[in-house]
Amino acid sequence: MALRQVRTMGDPILEKRSKEVTQITDRTRELIDDMFETLYDQNGVGLSAVQVGVLKRIVVVDVSEDEDDPIVMINPVIRESDGEQEGYEGCLSVPGKTGKVKRPNHVIVDFLDEDLNPQSMEGEEVFARCICHECDHLEGKLYVERVDGPLQDMDDVQEEQQNRRKKKKKIKK
């Protein structure tokens, strides 16, 4: 396994549509392993192959706290979505920035697993947001195209959210 360089906004590869995966090779398995290593090293929750410079329709996701539930999605397609949520999103390809994005609150995604077996999975809230975000990458789109308002510095937003939590705690006492 190896860390891969995460491509950042402005790199033309991020604007390209990824190609479907039709077979799993040793190189594909190595790519998936490297993607997880890169994801965990960068403290991310999702990563698409295009973000590490490979135009394949592969996504790795782990929204859990303990790295016990990693998911590999090959050729994912969102079959159904409903509800709505709005929240701040970030991206390893847009370091240090965040913005408010509206996404479905619930999705059903069809994909192939690492053995090319068909799978289907439901996602809600953060997981649904992550699936939508990563599927956008496969189409050559960054979340910044969906941001409502200007991009903000991640540190400023996190500080603001912490201050709100502190005020709520004081009110409850």
Residue in 15, 30, 65, 134 annotated catalytic: 134
Domain ranges of the chain: 12-172
Q: According to the model, what pLDDT value does residue 67 have? A: 55
Q: According to the model, what pLDDT value does residue 29 have? A: 97
Q: According to the model, what pLDDT value does residue 157 have? A: 81
Active site residue 37: no
Q: According to the model, what pLDDT value does residue 172 have? A: 66
For 56-100, what is each residue's pLDDT tens digit? 999 999 988 655 679 999 999 999 999 999 999 999 999 999 999
Q: According to the model, what pLDDT value does residue 168 have? A: 66
Q: Read off the DSSP letter of residue 145.
A: G
Q: Give me the residues paired with residue 74 across strands.
A: 58, 112
State the sign of the Cα–Cα–Cα–Cα dihedral 32, 37, 38, 43.
positive
Fold annotation for 12-172: Peptide Deformylase (3.90.45)
